[in-house]
Structure 1
Amino acid sequence: MQTYAYIRVSSLDQNEARQLEAIQELAIPQKNIYMDKQSGKDFHRQSYQKLLKKMQRGDLLYVLSIDRLGRNYKEIQNQWRYLTEDIGVDICILDMPLLDTRQYKDLLGTFIADLVLQILSFVAESERENIKKRQSQGISAAKAKGIRFGRPGAYVPKNFASLVKRWRNRQIPLKVLLKACSISRSTFFRRIQEMGL
């Protein structure tokens, strides 16, 4: 029997330290700790897929909380059944002792664990939807204040219009113009269109 742990944060800039600290207390070998820095909307995650290929019947998987496993109600339910029934591993959700498949193996225990799993899966997806809604509202509010998102536009010199005119009159090659403006070919043509030149 092998013991594994799965850690997930939603993006590269989020910190996994809290989860890692809780997992390290269990003395799980480092090679058996899998981590993804990716959204929990589905289970198409590189490290998680590697973990699935490693685990075998009788193994044990630790996850700090159900929302670290995923944030999609139906997919969490399906994945839970796949792990426990198809592969045959036990799962222990550290912050929810009722979600420990090593215990409560009788009918009542299974029923209670299923209810708790459904409720927490629902909460995880609801929180994901709320996060998306808050992000959207924040972006809209920022745009209304004139804040721009994305890469800043490439700078073009003040004499850009006259350079374009010289290029059109074949007085200057495109390669030289691009170098003089320090812009790419695609940016050059985009600026011409944006500026109506």
Structure 2
Amino acid sequence: MEKYGYIRVSTKDQNPERQSAAFEKYGIRSENVYLDKASGKNFERPAYQKMLKMVKKGDVITIKSIDRLGRNYGEILDQWRFITKDLSAGIEVLDIIILFI
């Protein structure tokens, strides 16, 4: 199993270092972190597409928060399904806490 991190910043004021530091803390190797400086309006982002080509069954993609993946929730759901169903990979969102009872 390989862990990948995905960072997206859409403005010059946003600093990717905060997201990168969170991935380091979770043991994601820097060579497995992909960064796009682009809008979240669609998924035609170079680093994102490159990362998807690397992901294999059982791998995990980590994002800091769901809005770093994209802005359009319908498209986010499509990508979520593609990653989890078609690629058989997992997605980890660091800012979401899930409570199992």
**Where on the TM-score scale, by shorter chain, does this alignment land: which range?**
over 0.9
Q: What is the aligned partner in structure 1 of residue 84 from structure 2?
A: 84
Query: In 1, distance between residues paired with 2:63 and 2:46?
Result: 17
The alpha-carbon deviation at position 25 of structure 1 amounts to 0.5
Assess if the C-alpha contact under 8 Å between 1:42 and 1:70 holds in 2.
Answer: yes
Q: What is the aligned partner in structure 2 of residue 22 from structure 1?
A: 22
The alpha-carbon deviation at position 97 of structure 1 amounts to 2.5
| Greater gyration radius | 1
Q: What is the aligned partner in structure 1 of residue 31 from structure 2?
A: 31
Instruction: Compare the two structures and name the one with the higher helix fraction.
Output: 1
Q: Is 2:9 the partner of 1:6? A: no
Q: Which runs of 5+ in 2 are unaligned?
A: none
The alpha-carbon deviation at position 13 of structure 1 amounts to 4.7
The alpha-carbon deviation at position 14 of structure 1 amounts to 2.6
Report the identity percentage: 49
Q: What is the aligned partner in structure 1 of residue 57 from structure 2?
A: 57
Instruction: Name the amino acid aligned to 2:65.
Output: S
The number of residues matched between the two structures is: 101
Q: What is the aligned partner in structure 2 of residue 96 from structure 1?
A: 96
TM-score of the superposed pair, with normalisation by structure 2: 0.92
Which stretches of structure 1, 4 residues or longer, exceed 6 Å deviation after superposition? none
- Secondary structure at the aligned position of 1:91 is classed as strand
Instruction: Compare the two structures and name the one with the higher strand fraction.
Output: 2
The alpha-carbon deviation at position 51 of structure 1 amounts to 0.3
Query: In 2, distance between residues paired with 1:66 and 1:97?
Result: 12
How do 1:28-177 and structure 2 match up within 5 A? 28-98=28-98
RCO greater where, 1 or 2, for CA within 8 Å and sep 6 or more? 2
The alpha-carbon deviation at position 57 of structure 1 amounts to 0.6
TM-score of the superposed pair, with normalisation by structure 1: 0.49
Alpha-carbon deviations, 1:48-95, whole Å to 9, x = none?
000000001100111000000110111001000000000010111001
Assess if the C-alpha contact under 8 Å between 1:12 and 1:38 holds in 2.
Answer: no
